[in-house]
């Protein structure tokens, strides 16, 4: 087994440039934590005492506005480094991480962060890479929110979900964790009502099959066309 993997999970490059002994040392400093669906891994504003790599399962990272509206910042997928407040120069977590399916993560005390950065060049590099990816995703979503109408944003959102957490089935791509209309609304800056209307229109058009917390993309290609505005949209 390649040491930059663990149980078949690619660890987002963080261990890429480490020797086997180094990987062992890093892993020795970690503990494993399991979380059931709905469990909170860490909470917005809480002191950032730990950072994590997700081994399996799925997390949702949210922020709440001053008025109490929730926004889903991103989903955390297996192999992802998360809870890295230190990389943002913060002492508290800027968001709340909640398990949406049964999950397990490697956990390190934040106190070892600086050591890891100092001792393992590949670690700092991996962390930077993670941030680069997130920054580009954030810019993409900013652009979408600023310029696209709701239906296109929803199309892009479900396609992203399909890429990150899609399980290929014979009749389409199934989103691999329970996802509600409310969730999709919080990813796209709209309401669950509008999401519901859009998805029923898509279902009638044969683009998706959606049920209670379930979503199957039956025609990703046409969804992409809608997302990119090449094609009018069904609502």
Partner DNA sequence: TAGTCTCTTTGATCTGTAGCAAACGCAGAG
Partner DNA sequence: CTCTGCGTTTGCTACAGATCAAAGAGACTA
Task: Write out the residues near DNA by the rule CB under 7 A.
Answer: 149-151, 180-182, 189-194, 196-197, 199-200, 210-213, 235
Maximum Cα interatomic distance, the chain, rounded to a whole number of Å? 57
Backbone angles phi, psi at 146, to 5 degrees: -80, -25
Beta carbon nearer to DNA, 85 or 198: 198
- Least distance to DNA from the beta carbon of 109, Å? 33
- Least distance to its own copies from the beta carbon of 31, Å? 25
- Least distance to DNA from the beta carbon of 161, Å? 13
DSSP result, 134-197? HHHHHHHHHHHHHH--HHHHHHHHHHHHHHHHEEEETTEEEESS---HHHHHHHHTS-HHHHHH
Rounded distance between C-alpha atoms, residue 57 and residue 168, angstroms = 17
From the list its own copies, DNA, none, partner contacted by residue 131 (C-beta under 5 to 8 A by kind): its own copies
Residue found by looking up tokens 């809480």 in the block: 46
Rounded distance between C-alpha atoms, residue 78 and residue 58, angstroms = 7
- Least distance to DNA from the beta carbon of 196, Å? 3
Note whether 147 binds its own copies by CB under 8 A: yes
Note whether 135 binds its own copies by CB under 8 A: yes
Q: Could you tell me which residues come within 8 angstroms of residue 171 by beta carbon, excluding any fewer than 6 positions away?
A: 209, 216, 218
Beta carbon nearer to DNA, 127 or 185: 185
Candidates 1, 89, 168, 212: give the one binding its own copies (CB under 8 A).
89
Beta carbon nearer to its own copies, 127 or 217: 127
């Amino acid at each position: 087994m390649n040491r930059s993997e663990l149980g078949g999970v690619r660890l987002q490059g963080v261990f890429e440039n480490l020797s086997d002994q180094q990987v062992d040392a890093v892993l020795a400093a970690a503990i494993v934590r399991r979380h059931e669906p709905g469990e909170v891994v860490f909470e917005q504003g809480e002191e950032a005492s730990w950072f994590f790599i997700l081994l399996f399962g799925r997390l949702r990272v949210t922020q709440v506005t001053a008025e109490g509206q929730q926004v889903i910042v991103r989903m955390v997928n297996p192999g992802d480094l998360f809870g890295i407040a230190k990389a943002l120069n913060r002492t508290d977590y800027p968001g709340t991480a909640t398990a949406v399916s049964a999950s397990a993560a490697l956990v390190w005390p934040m106190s070892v962060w600086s050591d890891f950065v100092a001792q393992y060049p590949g670690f700092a590099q991996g962390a930077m890479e993670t941030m680069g990816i997130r920054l580009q995703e954030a810019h993409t979503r900013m652009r979408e929110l600023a310029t696209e109408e709701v239906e296109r944003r929803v199309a892009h959102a479900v396609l992203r979900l399909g890429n990150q957490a899609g399980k290929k089935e014979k009749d389409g791509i199934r989103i691999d964790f329970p996802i509600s209309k409310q969730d999709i609304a919080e990813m796209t800056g709209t309401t669950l009502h509008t999401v519901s209307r859009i998805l029923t229109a898509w279902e009638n058009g044969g683009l998706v099959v959606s049920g209670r917390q379930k979503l199957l993309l039956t025609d990703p290609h046409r969804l992409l066309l809608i997302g990119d505005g090449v094609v009018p949209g069904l609502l």
